[in-house]
Chain A
Amino acid sequence: MSTQSIDLPLGNYQVQQQQADKKQKLAKPATPVSTLLKSASSLLVKHSFLSFAGLIMVFPFVWMLSGSMKSNDEIFSNPLNIFPEQFRWQTFVETFESAPFGLYIMNSFTVAFFTTLIVMINSAMFAYAITQLKFKSRTVLYFIVMACYMLPGAVTYIPSYITLANLGLLDSHTGLIISNAASVFGVFYLRQVFLKVHPSLIEAARIDGAGEVKILWAIVLPQCKAALATLFLITFITNYNSYMWPSLLITSQDLNLIATGIRQFFIAEGNYGLNWSQIMAASTIAVMPLLILFIICQKTILSGIADNGVKE
């Protein structure tokens, strides 16, 4: 009984509302339909424009895949086919046989992984020191690090090369890792993030007698997991893709990173028969691991950049 008495007025109200809607529609039917059409058409324009732009952005990848699946004969006879007459997976087998791409990818992964690991640790410690520890020179220290931000790699290459030569670390992954072990971006990014950690949390931990390392590890870091993930991915990707400095340091073929390896392959294959099908297969091998990584982690990367933005 009581439920009905509640339902009834509501029902009445709905009916009234519907009737009112009908009346309105009858009164001036043109407005809602035309705005609907207008917004639908503007939506259509927007989506078709974005789809077109998106297609252009991914087209090089599509073209690369398509080229790698075609035979060189087909590239010559039917150059404009996007879908090959038959998918030739064979090209990939041949490409893997003609240069050690598996090894190059492993090398890139190892170097990028260890560099990133070191960068995460030392940037976190440094950022913690300049945000949470009290000492006189911390502002000066921060400015020195930030000043290095405008230092182009080129300025440091010649002396760093000599230093590594003196240490006997030219043409080695260790040399590559230690020379990339300081990341100004890492400090800049983590400082911004650590400043947002609530000071009372750290104070409370100090009163409980926790050591600074423990505070960093058990209190600060767990608070910024998302930012740490973004920094990890960005540092990893940058190091995985880096080319100029590794190309100067690494001379042994079996130590090549993927970027230097693929360039050697390009020069060797490109200058003779213009073996585009295998060159595209090699590019695919270089690009695919990162595209897959991006598809898996796109949310972390995109929102990590978009949310933290620029300003501090």
Chain B
Amino acid sequence: MTASKQQFLDNPLGTKTTLEDVVDAFEFLDEWEDRYAYIIDLGKQLPAFPDDERVEENYVHGCQSQVWLIHHHDEDSGKLFLLIDSDAIIVRGLAAIILVALNGKPPRDLLAIDIDELFEQLDLFRHISPTRGNGLRAMVGKIRDIAAAEAAA
């Protein structure tokens, strides 16, 4: 079965769980263990990803692990909803942070967001190897491409 509209709308990341929540939480987490425990927990909020969407078209290249990304542009609200999945637990957590920042926004609003600034604010890249940083950029790049295409449509 492909993803239903409801699955997209039910994604708590970026809706129930807000960017403020994440930024606040990070401020209190000094130890790497705590930060990563939090990132792993965020990853658990990712909704189930439909098996039949794990196809080449939805695959995000440039990550060490397998990453899939699908979207739904909601006609009623004009907002862009995203679902991401990965076979690596930390990547799921990082994807969750990306969704907290970018999910459920009109494409034009999404394109105006400076995600690098957010990562800097969370001090994420200092703790993430360049190879993984590339994977994050690949995910964000694909989301921005989708948003640009939807904004132009």
Decide whether A and B are members of one complex: no
